[in-house]
Amino acid sequence: MNRLAVYCGSATPADPRFIDAARQVGAAFAARGIGLVYGGGRLGLMGAVADACLEAGGEVIGVIPQLLVDAEVAHRGCTALHVVETMHQRKQAFTDLADGFVTLPGGTGTMDELWEAMSWAQLGYHAKPVGLLNVGGFYDGLLAFVETMAQTGFLRPQHRDILIAADTLDDLLARMAAHRPPQTIVRMKADQL
């Protein structure tokens, strides 16, 4: 994995472990020679992951919509900053530029990015690993919900392991490196759906 997209919040929560985790991810990417592709912002976890990666000598590629550039939240210190018109273009660029996806804590935008990466993997639009770093149990509820989707039959057995979740970055990256794409919906017959 040469480059990984990181999905995370632009907020700065009161609990410092979230910013600390973002900084650790950025520094670890640089130490491992993994380029960072992210939302191009300078605030919150987004800014922390980018700053830490840059400080450690890593590559940082930001992808940000013009609307957010106009709001003056763009990180001007990125190795490269791609300005796009829409959020759809932003997410497509993440998929095009990265070899996989790592989700850190975040809000609605982070969930939108995570669910799209999972949905596209399920459909067959990409075959890249989709990771989730469960910092301090932040995603325990989401992981329980994914299990509920599987138990009720809304998440097919072939797709249960699309989301790779771990509590530590080392474990997450090792599991992502061992990722094998599932059978995708576009390659399934109607009686398998």
Q: Say whether pLDDT at 76 is over 90.
A: yes
For the segment 142-165, the average pLDDT, to the nearest whole number, is: 93
* List of residues 6+ apart from 93 with CB closer than 8 A: 37, 63, 82, 84
The predicted pLDDT at position 190 comes to: 61
The predicted pLDDT at position 186 comes to: 59
Distance CA 132, CA 168 (A): 10
Q: Say whether pLDDT at 3 is over 80.
A: yes
CATH of the domain at 138: 3.40.50.450
DSSP summary character for residue 73: -
Quote the mean pLDDT of the chain: 94
Helix (H) or strand (E) segment spanning residue 53: helix 44-55
Q: Say whether pLDDT at 115 is over 90.
A: yes
Q: Say whether pLDDT at 172 is over 80.
A: yes
Q: Residue 158 — pLDDT band, cuts 50, 70, 90? A: confident
- 127 token code pair: 């075959």
Query: How many independent structural domains does the chain possess?
Result: 1
Residue numbers of the domain that contains 111: 3-192
pTM for the whole thing?
Answer: 0.93
Using one digit for the tens of pLDDT, what is the confidence trace for 9-46? 999 999 999 999 999 999 999 999 999 999 999 999 99
Cα Rg, the chain, nearest whole Å? 16
Q: Residue 157 — pLDDT band, cuts 50, 70, 90? A: confident
